[in-house]
Structure 1
Amino acid sequence: MKIVVRTLIVFIVLLTVISCRYKNVVKETKNNLKLRFIDEYVLPDDTTFENTRVGGLSGIDYANGTWYAISDDSEFPRFYSANISYDINRFGSVTINSVTHFKDSIIEVIPKGIVDPESIRYDNNSFIWTSEGNIKDGLKPFVQIADSSGVFVNEFTLANRYLPNSDLNFGPHHNGVFEGITLSFNKKGYWVAMELPLKQDGEEPTLEETDSPVRIAFINKETGHFEKEIVYELDKVARPATDGATFELNGIVEILEYEKNKFFVLERSYAMGYGDGGNTVKIYDVDASKATDVSSFNSLKGEHYTKVTKKLLFNFEDIRDELTKGIVDNIEGITFGPDFENGNRSLVVVADNNFSLYGPQLNQFILFEVEK
C-alpha cells in the first residue's frame, strides 16, 4: 500500500512539474512581437495649410487609405487629413490634404480656449476625439463624437471623478486627463486613457518610485456609457530636470488596442533643461485580460485589485542616435498604417511640436515594422 501511495505521489509531482514547464513555455512564446525601426520623417516647422500652421500633432489615425492628425491648438481646434507614403525600407512623404475645424452643435467653430485636443480616432465616417479641458480654470475634459465635417454629434457622460473639483484631494490633475483613445478591437466601443492618476487614486510620478495608478476606461458605443475601468501603473520619472529647471513628469500619452485586451501604450517622461528634447519615450505591450474592473471605486487607495501587466516593447533611447539631431521629441500619437508586402503591420508615431513655443521642436513622424 505504501509503495502504491509513494508511486502515486511521484507521478503527481512529475505531472505537476511537466505541466508547469509547459505553461512557462506557452507564456514565453505566446507574444513575441518586436518593433523594427525603419525611418523618420520631419515635416518642416513652418508648414502651413489653408491659413493654419501645421503643428501640435498630438494624435494620429489611419483608415481607408487616409491619415488623420489632430492639432492641440486650443485657439483653433482642428484635425488634418494627409497622405503618408512609405515602404518597408524608408519614408517617402507626408502631404497635408485638408483641414477640418471642430464645430459645436449649432455648427459654429468652437471658441478659443474652451478645449485642449489630445487624441482622435476614425470610426465609421465619424471622429471620436478627446479634450483635457482646463482643470485649473474649471473647464471640463470630454470625449466627443464629430461627423466628417467636424460638427458635434454626441458627448459621453463622465463620472464626477473626472470633472474639475474644488476638493484638492479629489478629481483630475491639470493636464492629466483624457490623453489617449483607441477603438476597441471588437469595434463595440472605445478605450480612453488618463495621462495621470486621479488625485484620490495615487501620486503623480516622481524621480522616486511612487504608487501612480492610471485609469483606462471602456466606453460602450451602443449605450454611450463609461463601463469597465482598468488600472495601469506608471513608471517613475526617467531623469531629473537640469540647468536650473524643476519641471518633470511622466504619463500615458496614447493607447492602441491590437487584440482583445492587448494594447500598445505610449508612455512619455519629460524633464526640462535638456538639449535632446528631454523626452524619454517607451512603448509597452500591455495585457489587460486579468485586470480588475475598478469602475465602482471612487478611490483606488485601500482597495484590492489586479492591474494590467506591462512589458517593455520599445525604448526610443535605442534609436536616438538615428534621429534628427539626436532628438526624441514629444511623441504623443500612435497608429497602425497599411500592412507591408510581407504581411507585417506598419506602425507610425507622431510628435507634438508644441508649435515650438518652448524652443525648437520637430513635427516628427517615426515608422516601424511590427515583427511577429
Structure 2
Amino acid sequence: MRLSLIRRACAAAVVLAATMAPAVAAQPDGSGARGGTAALSDIGAKARLLGAKIVPHKLAFRGTTVGGLSGIDRDPCTGEYVAISDDRSVLQPARFYTARIAVDGAGVHSVDFTGTHPILQPDGGVYPPVSTGDGKAVDPEEVRVDPRSCDYWWAQEGDRPKSSDEPVIQPSIQFAARSGAYHGQLTLPPNYKITTRDWGIRRNTAVEAITFGAGGSVLTSAVEGPLLQDGPEPTLQHGALVRVTQHSREGDVLGQFAYPLEKIFTAPDGSSTYPPDTGVPTILAYPGEPSRYLVLERTWVAGAGYKIRLFDATTRGATDVQHIDSLKGQKIVPMRKKLVADLADLGLSRIDNTEGMTWGPALTNGERTLVLVSDDNFAEDAVTQIAALGIR
C-alpha cells in the first residue's frame, strides 16, 4: 500500500502548484471562489436528469432493514454498487449492502440488493449500539471501493458528546475486506480530531466524504462543516469554509484546502425547533483530473425542505492550509467552484436527504452517469431514492 516514488513526486507537484498562488482574503460567503468567468473556464460540468427509483421504505433484506443509505460507490470489479447504512447498530449492526442498479441513458430501471455484511471491529465483533455508551459505537457515512484491490474504505463521523459524562468517539477512515472484516485505518490530520475544548471537529459535522483519485494513489476527504476554530456555521448572510484534505494511502497529508460552503438559502418558518442544517456529505474526484471534484452541498431548512446542489470545484491555485490552525481572518485562496445543478431545477419529483454519489457507467453520447442516493434516516416521511444524472 505504499506510493511509488514517481506517484509521490506527482502528488507533491500537484500540492506545490496549489500553494504557489498569491494569497487573497478568503470570502466565507463563497464569493471568493467565483472570481469571474475567466477564472472558472477550466471547470463547469453540465447535468441532466436521467431518472430515479425509490426503494420500498424499510425494505426487509436478509434479516436487516434497508435504509439510512448515506454513501454509495460503483465496484469496478463487479459492476455492482456498494452502499453503506448509517444505522448506528440500533436496528441491526452497522453494515453495508451490495446491489445491482440498472442505469442507462433512459433512466434507472431497477435496484436489486444482492448482499449485506456487518462492518467489523478490529477484534472481529460487530459494533455495539450507540446507546451502550461504551465509546466503541460508530456513525458510518461514506464508502468507497479501492480501485486497486476492490476492498472497501469507509468513513465514520464519531461523536463529540453533549456532556462530559459521555465518551468521545473519534472520527475515522477505515479499510475493510469485502466481507466487512477490519483491515486497518488511515491516520487523520490533527485538526480532524475531536478535542475537549472549542477546537477541532464540530458535533455531527465530521468526516462524511471521501473519494479516490489519481488512480487510487490519493484519497481525498472533506469534513461536513467548518471546524470550531475556523469560524461559525453558515447563516443567511454568510457561508463558511470547510477543509478538504488530500491524503496518501498511508495517511500523509499531501495538501489541505478550504472549500467555500454556501450561505443558508432561506429563513426557517418556525415549524421546527431544529435550526437549518447544511454541509458537504459527499465529494467525488474526476477520473484523470487529480485536482478537480464534484462536491454535493445538502441544506435543510424547516418549512422549505431540502436544497441539493452540485458544484464543480478545483484545488488548483488554492492555498494549502494544513499548517494554518485557524482560518478566521487569514488571507487565503479558497477552492474555486461553479454550480453544476440544483436538483430542484432538473425535474426530480422528490428532493430528499441526498448524501451519497458515485460515477456510474459511461453513456454512448459521451456523458458519464452520476448515481445519487438519499438517506431516509428510517423516517416515515423520507425516502431512499436512487437517482441518475448525465454529466458532460
Per the normalisation by structure 2, the TM-score is 0.82
Indicate the residue corresponding to 2:371 in structure 1: 348
2:358 and 2:371 in contact (8 A); partners too: yes
Indicate the residue corresponding to 1:16 in structure 2: none
Inter-partner Cα distance in structure 2 for 1:53 and 1:205: 34
Higher RCO (CA 8 Å, separation ≥ 6 residues)? 2
Deviation at 1:338, TM superposition (A): 1.0
Indicate the residue corresponding to 2:276 in structure 1: 248
Inter-partner Cα distance in structure 1 for 2:94 and 2:390: 31
The alignment of Structure 1 onto Structure 2 pairs a total of residues equal to 336
Matched ranges for 1:223-238 at <5 A = 223-238=250-265
> Residues 25 and 106 (structure 1 numbering): CA distance in 2 closer, same or farther, change over 3 Å?
closer
Indicate the residue corresponding to 2:45 in structure 1: 33
Indicate the residue corresponding to 2:339 in structure 1: 312
Indicate the residue corresponding to 1:288 in structure 2: 315
| CA shift digits 1:24-43 (9 cap, x unpaired) | 99767544521111111101
Letter in 1 for 2:219: Y
2:177 matches 1:160:
no
Letter in 2 for 1:178: V
| CA shift digits 1:262-302 (9 cap, x unpaired) | 1000001111244xxx1111000001111111111121223
Indicate the residue corresponding to 2:179 in structure 1: 149
Indicate the residue corresponding to 1:99 in structure 2: 116
| CA shift digits 1:2-48 (9 cap, x unpaired) | xxxxxxxxxxxxxxxxxxxxxx9976754452111111110110311
1:157 and 1:226 in contact (8 A); partners too: no
| CA shift digits 1:139-174 (9 cap, x unpaired) | 11111111111111111223332222221x211110
Picking from 85, 103, 107, the partner of 1:90 is 107
Indicate the residue corresponding to 2:88 in structure 1: 74
Gaps of 5+ in 2: 1-35, 131-136
Q: Secondary structure at the match of 2:230?
A: coil
Inter-partner Cα distance in structure 2 for 1:158 and 1:32: 31
> Residues 178 and 287 (structure 1 numbering): CA distance in 2 closer, same or farther, change over 3 Å?
same
Indicate the residue corresponding to 2:19 in structure 1: none
The list of structure 1 runs, each at least 4 consecutive aligned residues, that deviate by more than 3 angstroms after superposition, is 24-32
> Residues 337 and 282 (structure 1 numbering): CA distance in 2 closer, same or farther, change over 3 Å?
same
Q: CA RMSD in A?
A: 1.8
Deviation at 1:328, TM superposition (A): 0.5
Letter in 2 for 1:349: L
2:43 and 2:312 in contact (8 A); partners too: no
| Bigger Cα displacement from structure 2, 311-320 vs 285-294 | 311-320
Q: Secondary structure at the match of 2:345?
A: helix
> Residues 305 and 255 (structure 1 numbering): CA distance in 2 closer, same or farther, change over 3 Å?
same
Q: Secondary structure at the match of 1:261?
A: strand
Inter-partner Cα distance in structure 1 for 2:346 and 2:46: 14
Inter-partner Cα distance in structure 1 for 2:43 and 2:120: 42
Indicate the residue corresponding to 1:362 in structure 2: 383
2:229 matches 1:197:
no
Letter in 1 for 2:301: A
Indicate the residue corresponding to 1:177 in structure 2: 206
2:40 and 2:337 in contact (8 A); partners too: no
Larger Rg: 1 or 2? 1
Q: Secondary structure at the match of 2:267?
A: coil
